Structure 1
Amino acid sequence: MSKQSHLDSDQNSAPEDANELIAQLQAKLDEITASGKQPYPNQFKRTDYAQDLQTAFDGISKQEIADNDAKGEKTQVNVAGRVMLNRGAFIVIQDMTGRIQLYVARKELSEETLASIKSLDLGDIIGVSGYVGRSGKGDLYVHIEEFNLLTKALRPMPNKFHGLADIEARYRNRHLDLMTNETTRDAFVIRSQVISGIRQFMLNERFMEVETPMMHPIPGGAVARPFETHHNALDMPLYLRIAPELYLKRLVIGGFEKVFEINRSFRNEGVSTRHNPEFTMIEFYQAYADYHDLMDLTERMFAELADNILGSTELTYQEETISLKAPFARLSMSDAIAQYAEGFDMAHIDDREYLADYVANTLKQQVKDVFGVGKLKTIVFEETAEHQLRQPTFITEYPAETSPLARRSDDNPEITDRFELFVGGRELANGFSELNDPADQAERFRGQVAEKDAGDDEAMHFDADYIEALAYGLPPTAGEGIGIDRLVMLFTDSASIRDVILFPHMRRKLD
């Protein structure tokens, strides 16, 4: 292969070809250094972005631009970005906003500049000063007057037509995926918009944003298996947080009556299309509210986000039309079982023996002696109904046994004032009226400890400090957590959570 410009190089080339390309790229860098030039200069100042220029000149014809040029009113710009294509007289660069063409007027540029342009490779980062024009095909471009090589790429870019096709390679090399895959870039732009939109929505609702510890002396706030570490100076175990709940409720006790945290949480669980050990969520608490208030708030939030980001409350997810227009369906867990559990006799909905038999023999799930009616009922719901909840649906009346932090219903102490929101067969949110009776909370914690002693790695510890804080008085409060990663999956039509996490956890790559 000759030492010509490698603008058509393929990241998926055979190893010997890739090594040859890398050697040639390094040789070009060596030539730049030998000529006395700075190979990585930092004096170029960008003043303009690709998409901003495309927007500003939208609807302005080639003739109108030429007329302004003739009047001495050229639009002078400084653009910079990564070289993505070379079309002879035109080079295409990409910056954070999009792409724009650069026009190489060979008769107007010096031999040295033309030689530098000719030696460009895919992936090189350049800065250009010039003026705006439009081609005969109608494409906007920047007419090059000054050219600067800012960074020489020392690795070949992926194939310009196919990008980074291997899914695992995309996750492991997100920098290459972002360079070459417009769908990936768009997904993470939407992710950023979702997070900023949620933040602004909460601030508009008069919530205060706070930060709580990420390392906890006792894992709590959710039922999950934690990651454990050790603090050397204090000689004590610590746990990466599985949820910020218990700290946030202490703030409500202290008088901050509406608080939220957009946080990273960690759960030592399997990796799947719906689960990543490290994930992003928003958790928020509102005094003098109940779980009905939070269901209403969630409907407003989702509709506003969809309208502002996608332009509609109706979206397509995996070829299925989803409507985020309020009101969402609301269904009790028992009603969901009645609707979706095949062959289930609702006359025995509270019969432990019947439930255990159904779970073990019909659903083929493990039944432990410690499982009560509430736990078994929850398993039936999760295995039979959850995946069938396609349109936004609030499931309510969760058993107290599986809701250790939720307030019991005044009408039925066996269930709680709790909901979970499901969209597209996935849980997106979990909320409830908070348990503010310290004696009841202590009893629930003891029940969790019994489950842990019986071998449940996800059961909670007894948090004596939280019980003491609760004794000072938590006003009537409702709280909720929303999985931001899963919400972004919905908004970006992404099948896997790895598609919406910039750097998802992967198995160790074997040599």
Structure 2
Amino acid sequence: MAEESRDSLEAVRAEKLKRIAGLGIDPWGQRFDDHRAIADVRALDVAKPQEGETPEPGPAVRIAGRIMLRRGQGKVVFLEVRDWTERIQVFIGKKQVGEQSWSLVDELDLGDLIGVDGTLGYTKTGELTVFATELTFLGKSLTPPPEKWHGLTDQEMRYRRRYVDLFANPESLQTFLARSKIIRTFRKVMEERGFIEVETPTMQSIAGGAAARPFTTHHNALDIDLFLRIAPELYLKRLLVGGMERVFEIGRVYRNEGISPKHNPEFTMMEAYQAYGDYHSMMDLTEALICGAIEAIGGGYQRPWGEKTVDFRAPWPRRTYHDLLREYAEVDPGDFDAVKARAERAGIATVGKDRDVVISELFEALVEDNLVGPVFVIDYPAAICPLTKRKASNPEVAERFELFVDGIELANAYTELNDPVLQETLFRSQLAGMAAEESMAKMDDDFVRALKHAMPPAGGLGVGMDRLCMLLLNKASIRDVVLFPLMRPQVSQAGAVDVEDESEI
């Protein structure tokens, strides 16, 4: 649709808006109580006529939704009306609705919001239909909906104008309703296991709890710089010290890093901490959470993922970090000369790097993509896990796991380090090698102080909710499961935000 044509159509709709107001009707709608979800209406028991029989009227119903299709003329019009649960055909006859409601019919456009009172039944062709007896106007769409939405291949405008994507593309709406079910199920499972949901600061004076680059902001009243949180971890652990034995938080975290199909700078994470647990407790919890989410959204445990199928039936395998290195990198992690040689053959620089950093980069390069999973990778090198308790039998190994599915990390968990002396030592050694702009580039003295009051032994878990939704719902990009992903603003030559023709999105 050219710009001139769109302007012309919008002008026609603006005139209709005036005529609706001229009928004494508020074109922006009114309260419309007691309407039913269209899915519930469609589920009502209505006798379907046999061939040649006259359809019998069914129960009285009241629905509300957006007009998606229109056909017919003269004294009979058919509409398709859709709400966030389903769609249904609406029959409007001048004789059936009366003069007042019929006066609205010529002013109705695709995209308008209407309420319909009527009876449910079948047409002679067998289509379940609401036979309208009264219309209520609920909102005028001044911009025509997209004409070429079906078959769309360019995703960018679907992300930029999610409000159009949701009503024009039912699959997209169902994706986000399923995402809501997943998050709601997480809360239900956590509550059933005795956890309480808490809220911790999203603006923090020290960016801690993970290794990432933070976003910075400034608090004018206090005249201090703050960081958007990269993780809620250190605050949640303070709550363990305070006696809140099982806590979790589902919230947004922010990392000033790259954007890709698997990364968004602002994302949703669930973190949980269980006093008197360990990383094995967190594996059991992770299985319960994800299996519960699968049950909630349906579709079974063997789920499509691109061209693959992932089997989520529990229990999931538990493989040690070093065993996987031996299998896929074909090197003994204890032989550092062999590790360096293998890393260099894989194109990984080794000069000046700590042994465990080289091993970690080798693992990322040669192992992770082979982890079809779901699989728990357990027992990481301690040097790359500064917040994790060491194994009593081997202090060089940290009691940590990461959950992988098809090379994607979904969850990260520890047996939490609760020794304040060791924690302070590890913080200081970590700080020595970090650039000032990186996270945790400042000692969190208050967190160490909290540990000195005795934090119970505990297991801690973090789950990336966006990635999990992407996998369970079989979406190729994390943007497909984030309602409003971060996008570069579109600017015209004049400096104003560009507004493209929606028919071309």
TM-score by length of 1: 0.90
Q: Structure 1 stretches of 5 or more lacking a match?
A: 1-12
2:272 to 273, 279, 284: 284
1:364 paired residue number: 347
The residue aligned with 2:287 is 299
Structure 1 pair 399/161, CA: closer, same or farther in 2 (3 Å)? closer
Q: Could you tell me which residue of structure 1 aligns to residue 499 of structure 2?
A: none
Match of 1:308 among 293, 296, 311: 296
One-letter amino acid of the counterpart of residue 258, structure 1 = R
Once residues 217 and 184 of structure 1 are traced to their aligned partners in structure 2, the CA distance between those partners, rounded to angstroms, is: 38
Given the alignment of the two structures, is residue 421 of structure 1 paired with residue 403 of structure 2, yes or no?
A: yes
8 A contact 2:207–2:439 mirrored in 1: no
Which amino acid in the other structure matches residue 174 of structure 2?
D
Kindly indicate whether the alpha-carbon contact (under 8 Å) linking 2:66 and 2:113 is maintained by their aligned counterparts in 1: yes
Name 2:331's counterpart in structure 1: 345
Query: Equivalent of 1:488, from 469, 483, 487?
Result: 469
- Which of the pair has the greater relative contact order for Cα pairs under 8 Å at 6+ separation? 2
Match of 1:170 in 2: 158
1:452 matched to 2:452? The reply is: no
Distance 1:303-1:109 versus aligned 2 partners, 3 A rule: closer
| One-letter identity of the residue aligned with 1:499 | D
Check 1:509–1:355 CA distance in 2 against 1; reply closer, same or farther (3 A cut).
farther
The match for 2:453 is 472
Residue 496 of structure 2 aligns with which residue? none
Q: Which moved more, 1:79-88 or 1:34-43?
A: 34-43
Instruction: Give yes or no for contact 1:406–1:434 (8 Å, CA) kept in 2.
Output: yes
**Shift of residue 288, structure 1, vs aligned partner:** 1.0
- Per the alignment, residue 66 of structure 2 pairs with 82
| Structure 2 alignment gaps of length 5 or more | 493-505
Secondary structure of the equivalent of 1:193?
helix
Contact 1:448 1:461 in 2 (8 A): no
- 2-structure distance, mates of 1:372, 1:345: 17
Q: Would you say 1:194 and 2:150 are equivalent positions?
A: no
1:143 is aligned to 2:135: no
Structure 2 distance, partners of 1:216, 1:278, is: 16
> Which amino acid in 1 is paired with 2:266?
E
CA contact (8 A) 1:351 1:373 kept: no
Q: Distance in 1 between matches of 2:486 and 2:176?
A: 17
Q: Distance in 2 between matches of 1:423 and 1:309?
A: 19
Listed as ranges, the matches of 1:200-239 within 5 Å are 200-239=188-227
Paired residue for 1:336?
Answer: 324
Q: Corresponding residue for 2:108? A: 120
Bigger mean CA deviation after superposition, 236-245 or 311-320:
311-320
Q: Which moved more, 1:132-141 or 1:396-405?
A: 132-141
C-alpha contact 1:82 1:94 (8 A) present in aligned 2: yes
1:403 deviates by: 0.7
Q: Which residue matches 2:484? A: 503
CA 1:36/1:327 → structure 2, altered by over 3 Å: closer, same or farther? Answer: closer
SS of match in other structure, 2:390: coil
Indicate yes or no: 2:362 matched with 1:380: yes
Distance 1:254 1:108 in 2: 68
Residue 434 (structure 1) aligned with residue 403 (structure 2): no
Which region of structure 1 is more displaced relative to structure 2, 35-44 or 46-55?
35-44
**In structure 2, distance between residues paired with 1:375 and 1:138:** 67
Distance verdict in 2 for CA 1:118–1:33, change over 3 Å: closer
Contact kept, 8 Å, 1:163 with 1:177, in 2: the verdict is: no
In structure 2, the partner of 1:103 is 91
* Structure-2 residue corresponding to 1:39: 27
- The answer to whether the 8 A contact 1:208-1:259 is kept is yes
Query: Cα offset for 1:85?
Result: 0.6
Query: C-alpha displacement at 1:56, in angstroms?
Result: 2.1
C-alpha distance in 2 between matches for 1:96 and 1:66: 32
Matched, 1:61 2:48: yes
Q: Provide TM-score, normalisation by structure 2.
A: 0.91
Q: CA deviation at 1:93?
A: 0.6
RMSD of Structure 2 on Structure 1 (CA): 2.2
Percent pairwise identity: 42
Q: What's the CA shift string for 1:123-150, capped at 9, x where partnerless?
A: 0111111111112333221111111222
Amino acid in structure 1 at the alignment position of 2:48: S
Partner of 2:248: 260
Instruction: Give, in whole Å, the separation in 2 of the partners of 1:404 and 1:368.
Output: 23
Alignment partners' CA distance in 2, 1:109 and 1:385: 67
Q: Which amino acid aligns with 2:453?
A: Y
